[in-house]
Amino acid sequence: MIRKQDALDYHEQGRPGKIEVISTKSCATQRELSLAYTPGVADPCMEIFANPDDAFRYTAKGNLVAVVSNGTAVLGLGDIGALAGKPVMEGKGVLFKRFADIDVFDIELNSHDPDEIVKTVAMLEPTFGGINLEDIKAPECFYIEEHLKKMMNIPVFHDDQHGTAIISGAALLNALEVVGKKIHDIKVVFSGAGAAGIACAKFYETLGVQRKNILLVDTKGVVHKGRTDGMNPYKEYFAAETDLRTLEEAMKGADAFCGVSKKGVVTKAMLKSMADNPIVFAMANPDPEITYEDALDARDDVIMATGRSDYPNQVNNVLGFPFIFRGTLDARASSINDEMKKAAALALATLAKEDVPDSVIRAYGGKRIEFGREYIIPKPFDPRVLLWEAPAVAKAAMTSGVARRPIKDFEAYRDSLEARLGKSREVMRFFIHRAQSEPKRIVFPEGEEEKIIRAAQIIVDENIAKPVLLGSRTLIRQRAADLGISLDGIEMVNPSKSEHLDSYTTAYFQKRQRKGVTHFDAEREMKMHDIFGMMMVDKGDADGLISGLTQGYPDTVRPALQIIGKKDGASIIAGLYMLVFKNQTIFIADATVNIDPTAEQLAEIAILTAEKVKQFDIEPRVALLSFSNFGSTKHPLTEKVRKATAIVKRLAPDLKVDGEMQADTAVSPDILNELYPFSTLKGGANILICPDLTSANIAYKLLAKLAGATAIGPMLLGIRKPVYLIVPGNEVTDIVNISAMAVFEAQMSSRGNGAASSKVLQKIQNKSESTTA
Q: Residue 30 belongs to what H/E stretch?
A: helix 30-36
* Of 359, 187, 149, nearest in space to 277 by CA: 187
Distance CA 182, CA 173 (A): 9
How would you classify the pairing of strands 279-282 and 256-259?
parallel
* Of 709, 626, 698, nearest in space to 662 by CA: 626
The DSSP symbol for 376 reads: S
The answer to whether residues 585 and 427 touch, using CB atoms and an 8 Å cutoff, is yes
Distance CA 499, CA 539 (A): 14
- In the chain, what is the straight-line distance between the N-terminal and C-terminal CA atoms, in Å? 71
CA separation (Å) from 12 to 9, 15, 17, 19, 89? 5, 7, 6, 12, 16
Listed in sequence order, the residues at least 6 apart from 87 whose beta carbon sits closer than 8 Å to its beta carbon are: 11, 17, 18
CA separation (Å) from 26 to 33, 36, 519? 9, 9, 68
Distance CA 88, CA 67 (A): 10
Long-range contacts of 498-506 (CB under 8 A, 24+ apart): 498/532, 500/535, 500/536, 500/539, 500/541, 501/526, 501/527, 501/532, 504/532, 504/535, 504/536, 504/539
CA separation (Å) from 660 to 79, 541, 586? 67, 44, 18
According to the 3-state scheme, what is the secondary structure of 288-324?
A: CCCCHHHHHHHCCCCEEEECCCCCCCECCHHHCHHHH
Distance CA 449, CA 456 (A): 11
Phi first, then psi: what are they for 606, rounded to 5°? Answer: -65, -45
Catalytic one among 4, 18, 25, 37? 37
CA separation (Å) from 638 to 15, 596, 597, 627? 45, 13, 13, 7
Helices 338-351 and 195-207 pack at an angle, to 10 degrees, of: 80
According to the 3-state scheme, what is the secondary structure of 398-424?
A: HHCCCECCCCCCHHHHHHHHHHHHCHH
Phi first, then psi: what are they for 151, rounded to 5°? Answer: -85, -30
Tell me, yes or no, if 37 is annotated catalytic: yes
How would you classify the pairing of strands 156-158 and 491-493?
unpaired
Burial status of residue 611 (CB atoms within 10 A of its CB: 0-12, 13-18, 19 or more): buried
- Which runs of E-coded beta strand occur in 621-722? 621-625, 656-661, 687-689, 710-717
Listed in sequence order, the residues at least 6 apart from 293 whose beta carbon sits closer than 8 Å to its beta carbon are: none
CA separation (Å) from 629 to 557, 633, 681, 741? 35, 7, 13, 35
State the maximum Cα–Cα separation within the chain, in Å, rounded to a whole number. 106
Catalytic one among 61, 92, 187, 451? 92
CA angle 396–401–405, rounded 5-degree value: 85
Three-state secondary-structure class, residue 463: coil
Residues acting as catalytic residues: 37, 92
